[in-house]
Amino acid sequence: MAALPDGRHQPMLYYFWTRTRLFLRHALLLLSCFSAIGLVLGPEWPAFQRPSDQIRAIVANQEFDFLVYELDVLALKGEAALVEGDGYLDEAARKQLVLDFVDLIGQIGRLEGQINLIYTDPAITDPEVASAELQQQLAEARAAAER
């Protein structure tokens, strides 16, 4: 133990707190140094400086979610198996139902293509107004496909 100037010995607790303060001071100094190095060498801010991150942020809502798709398909197949609606139709009616549905899906694709052409044409100043009628037709076709 270290002696005080008057000859008395320092209590152990005082010695412990002195060492603890010294340790904490050094730890804080090291933490500050590492933080400064991290800020200097770290990536630039704001985030998403890489083009791939920017693209992912833009198309995040349009990415394909395979798990949700599979679960929806399984639910639809289960529902169709329980209802057995195709068992009540003759062969000609089933064929016509499928052909009508394929035609409707083709119509939806054509409408989406026309709308995309309007939005990508630089000569059209307000594509939302220019494609309003096509948007309405597309909404009706999608509603018909859902039935």
pLDDT in tens, 55-85: 887 887 777 888 999 999 999 888 887 877 6
Cα–Cα dist 107/142, whole Å:
10
User: Are 101 and 145 spatial neighbours (Cβ–Cβ below 8 Å)?
Assistant: yes
Q: What percent of the chain has pLDDT over 90?
A: 41
pTM score over 0.95: no
Quick one: pLDDT at residue 46? 63
Cα–Cα dist 138/144, whole Å:
10
- Residue at token pair 């010695």: 15
Per-residue pLDDT reduced to its tens digit, 34-57: 888 877 777 665 666 778 877 887
Phi, psi angles (nearest 5°) of residue 49: -80, -25
- Residue at token pair 């998403």: 48
Alpha helices, DSSP H, located in the chain: 12-41, 51-58, 66-83, 91-120, 127-130, 132-146
Question: Across residues 126-144, what is the average pLDDT?
Answer: 93
Q: What 8-state DSSP symbol labels residue 8? A: P
Query: Greater confidence, 142 or 2?
Result: 142
Residue 22 has pLDDT above 60, yes or no: yes
